[in-house]
Amino acid sequence: MITSLIKSLPLAIFLLTATAGCELIQFDAPIEPPTTGGGVGIDGGPLGPAPLYPFRPGSIWQYTVTALDGSISSKYVAIDKQPVMVGGNGPHQIDMAYPVRTSGSLGGQAWLVTMQQAVGDQIVNWREETFDQQNQLLVDINWEPQQLEVDQSTERTRTGASWVDTYLEVVRPSGSVPTTVKQNDAWKVVGQEVLTLPGIATPFQTIVFQKSAVIGGIPDGGTNPADAGDAGRTSDAGVGRPMLTGLTWSEAADAGVNFPKTLWYARSIGKVKEAGGGEPTEELRGLELH
């Protein structure tokens, strides 16, 4: 069921309604932006900033997807309510994680199932399966030790922070032999942006990440993952910031400027936009938080 927001509904009530009613709520009217912490916790101490990715089992995000040819579709990302064993062949196969299902309709058959878990300040990916329209497995991927979804730490959300996430990607196409590829993802916090999305009256205050593949950037030329330090958490080892020539990051991406992938996260909401990298643009349209 999809419910429209009442025009004067504050975000706190909106989140409570979504939690209690288990409805996917679309942003059809103004909402109040989330706070960034500063309150008092149950132990009497100060609360930290709200999470960039509220990793809550049962939650659903709805996105409008604009393909490179201009065609429009919908995408739903849903976290299962219960964790399961990761399975597969990777090093985390007996660990517990939450299946995160990507589909084209609410409750529809998933074409992508990603095994995610919160590890400290990070949300990480351990395994991902791709399915065809008949729900037959096409590709099974696992990451060693893990692929970073987002780092929510104070260090990694300040403007200018940069690091390289190094891992092995083991790809197993159905019926074919597996291949192993070393990946070096350069992350950088390029700044903050007040982002307005189509159909949503109130803009989001976002932290903007840039993610791109690294050629070099590892001390020994990329042959030793350990040289990235701290499991791929080496600070200030990323790529330089491109010039925007007066455009915001969102305007530049929408105008087709050739950027690496750019991701916009809003606290208490999650990812609100993704663009660049030669891939379709995704923009948040609806949200259910549990």
Mean pLDDT across 35-63: 70
pTM, to two decimals: 0.77
pLDDT of 215? 62
Mean pLDDT lowest among 97-101, 140-144, 244-248: 244-248
DSSP state of 29: S
pLDDT in tens, 175-230: 999 999 999 999 999 999 999 998 888 899 999 999 998 764 443 333 343 343 34
* 274 has pLDDT over 60: yes
In sequence order, the 6+-apart residues with CB closer than 8 A to the CB of 255 are 247
Sign of the alpha-carbon dihedral angle for 275, 280, 286, 290: negative
Residue 71 DSSP SS3: coil
Residue 38 has pLDDT above 90, yes or no: no
What are the pLDDT digits (tens) for 118-154? 999 999 999 999 999 999 999 999 999 999 999 999 9
Q: Is the pLDDT of residue 264 over 70?
A: yes
Mean pLDDT of 277-281: 93
Range 18-47 average pLDDT: 48
Among the ranges given (7-21, 26-40, 237-251, 260-274), the one the predictor scored with the smallest mean pLDDT:
7-21
**Running DSSP on this structure, what letter comes out for residue 225?**
G
- The pLDDT value recorded for residue 47 is 52
Distance CA 220, CA 197 (A): 42
What percentage of the chain reaches a pLDDT higher than 90?
Answer: 63
7 band by pLDDT with thresholds 50, 70 and 90? very low
Q: What integer best gives the mean pLDDT of the chain?
A: 79
Averaged over 34-59, what is the pLDDT? 66
Residue 28 has a pLDDT of 60
Q: Which residues of 108-145 are buried (b: 16+ CB within 10 A; e: fewer)?
A: eebbebbbbbeeebbbbbbbbbbbeeeeeeeebbbbbb
Of 41-45, 159-163, 185-189, which range is least confident?
Answer: 41-45
